[in-house]
Amino acid sequence: MTWAFASAAQAGPGKERVQDACAIRSFDRTLVLAVSDGAGSAPLSHIGATVASRTFSEQANPLVPSLVGSGGTGFWTEEDAFKWASTLVERIAEAIRAVAEQEERPIAEYAATLVGVVISPEGSLFVQVGDGIAVFRKGDQLEVAIQPEEAEFVNSTYFLTDANVQDHIQLRVIEGPLDEVALLTDGLQPLVLAGADAIPHERFFETVFRNIRSEAGEDTTASAWLASMLASDLVTSRTDDDTSIVAAVRRAD
């Protein structure tokens, strides 16, 4: 499978430092994407977000081959998927904890969320902790991978650094190849997903996907365009939060 992709992260208006982070890694048979939102209230969350997205992109792929085809279904079972996601989240939490211990800071200061996906020709696995959202197209329809977990108020979510993070892992297995995928953190979410059911706003996603035009690998022009979009009044007049997006488009093989 050949993929073209682009990404950007932008600090909210008036903020010095972006606390969101993105990571993309392309392998022979898989594409791994992740976004992470560092908690605004946690002073070192930008580091947490960077470690989270990077660790996901590094660790997700090696864990995949052992799961493909297990359970005799030809593809990951939900149970396999959960084991995979659970191990992955544990490794991410460990990676954050290692940084916290080295710096002698409480791990809560690194609080960050995660939305990640591993895409293979046989199928894809989305995993999520806390807010943020993944949207994909497989055939005609744009679809949200994982509906946001119930958290009643805007200013509360779950983090990779929570002691009970394993209770808040959400996942979704999609069989077969995907055509387009976008991951975004919650700053952008209300601008491009409508209603309680989080229905993708097609005009947004279609424009983003159409503007990724390279044949393979990162489309740096599209990444620059995404960055200019996140920095534009169109976005900054609608949210004060950090915003970030990773988008990928599959090319004909």
91 close to 129: Cβ distance less than 8 angstroms: no
Query: Where do contacts with another protein occur on this chain (CB under 8 A)?
Result: 37, 39-42, 111, 131, 152-157, 186, 190-198, 201, 203-204, 207, 210-211, 213, 221-222, 224-225, 228-229, 232-235, 237-238, 240-241
Question: Of 76 and 158, which has the nearer Cβ to another protein?
Answer: 158
Amino acid at 79: E
Question: Of 17 and 203, which has the nearer Cβ to another protein?
Answer: 203
Question: Of 174 and 222, which has the nearer Cβ to another protein?
Answer: 222
Shortest distance, CB of residue 175 to another protein, whole angstroms?
29
Question: Of 76 and 159, which has the nearer Cβ to another protein?
Answer: 159
User: Under the phi-then-psi rule, with left for phi > 0, alpha for psi from -120 to 50, and beta for the rest, what region is 137?
Assistant: beta
209 close to 180: Cβ distance less than 8 angstroms: yes
Query: Comparing C-alpha atoms, which of 100, 93, 35, 30 is closest to residue 60?
Result: 30
Residue with tokens 């807010």: 131
Shortest distance, CB of residue 229 to another protein, whole angstroms?
6
Phi, psi angle pair for 59, to nearest 5°: -95, -20
Shortest distance, CB of residue 151 to another protein, whole angstroms?
10
Tokens representing 148 are 């946001």
Shortest distance, CB of residue 66 to another protein, whole angstroms?
35
Question: Of 81 and 145, which has the nearer Cβ to another protein?
Answer: 145
Shortest distance, CB of residue 73 to another protein, whole angstroms?
35
Neighbours of 249 (CB within 10 A): 24
